[in-house]
């Protein structure tokens, strides 16, 4: 049986290993990652799935601004150990995270991901048609969801990182990664 719980500081290494396993090292180069880099996830919105004491899934949500003064959350990454994919854990993590975000009063969620997969949760590209990411992104994979009526309606502009700095859990940039500091400034 899977257990979904709030992420703990002791989950860091297992989470990072899982993300590398699912997405590879190139995940660190994506614009969504630039928006998360060096920041803490939104309070109470970082979850770990555990099975027999092992981390097998993760999802986090991050504060962003969807255009001018429109608070939203950026979801991601959502990852499930490849050995157990296809058993509904990803959907369970998504539903759990979206329910908690709604309960906490958040109005909207953005993500970059597989549109057919996320459509089942209500994500659509239409809600983010007036928004852009601050770097390269795949427009057809950029999706939004209103948690409250009108959460993203009429939004325009560039998505910007907001929220708390100082993700002590984040691994440092690789030694010799001269581009890390400049990439941090993109967010």
Whether 35 is covered by a domain: the verdict is: yes
Whether 176 is covered by a domain: the verdict is: no
Total domains, the chain: 1
Whether 126 is covered by a domain: the verdict is: yes
What pLDDT does residue 183 have? Answer: 31
Distances (CA, A) of 132 to 61, 63, 77: 18, 16, 19
The pTM score is: 0.84
Tens-level pLDDT at each residue, the chain (187 residues): 789 999 999 998 999 899 888 988 778 778 888 898 889 999 999 999 999 889 999 999 999 999 888 999 999 899 999 998 999 999 999 999 999 999 999 999 999 999 999 999 999 999 999 999 999 999 999 999 999 999 999 999 999 999 888 744 444 333 233 333 333 322 2
Closest CA to 66 of 181, 171, 151: 151
Whether 181 is covered by a domain: the verdict is: no
Domain of residue 78 covers: 3-163
Whether 170 is covered by a domain: the verdict is: no
Whether 183 is covered by a domain: the verdict is: no
CATH of the domain at 96: 3.40.630.30
Whether 178 is covered by a domain: the verdict is: no
């Amino acid at each position: 049986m899977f257990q979904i719980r709030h992420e703990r500081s002791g989950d860091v290494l297992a989470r990072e290993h899982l993300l590398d396993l699912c997405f590879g090292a190139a995940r660190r180069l994506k614009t969504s990652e630039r928006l998360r880099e060096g920041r803490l996830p939104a309070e109470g919105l970082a979850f770990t799935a555990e099975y027999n004491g092992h981390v097998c899934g993760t999802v986090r949500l991050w504060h962003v601004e969807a255009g001018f003064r429109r608070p939203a959350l950026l979801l991601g990454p959502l990852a499930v150990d490849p050995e157990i994919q296809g058993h509904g854990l990803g959907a369970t993590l998504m539903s759990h995270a979206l329910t908690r975000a709604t309960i906490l009063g958040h109005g909207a969620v953005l993500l970059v991901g597989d549109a057919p997969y996320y459509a089942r949760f209500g994500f659509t590209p239409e809600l983010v048609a007036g928004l852009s990411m601050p770097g390269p992104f795949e427009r057809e994979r950029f999706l939004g969801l209103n948690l409250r009526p009108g959460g993203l309606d009429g939004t325009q502009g560039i998505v910007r990182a907001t929220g708390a700095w100082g993700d002590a859990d984040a691994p440092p940039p690789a030694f010799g990664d001269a581009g890390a500091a400049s990439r941090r400034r993109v967010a």
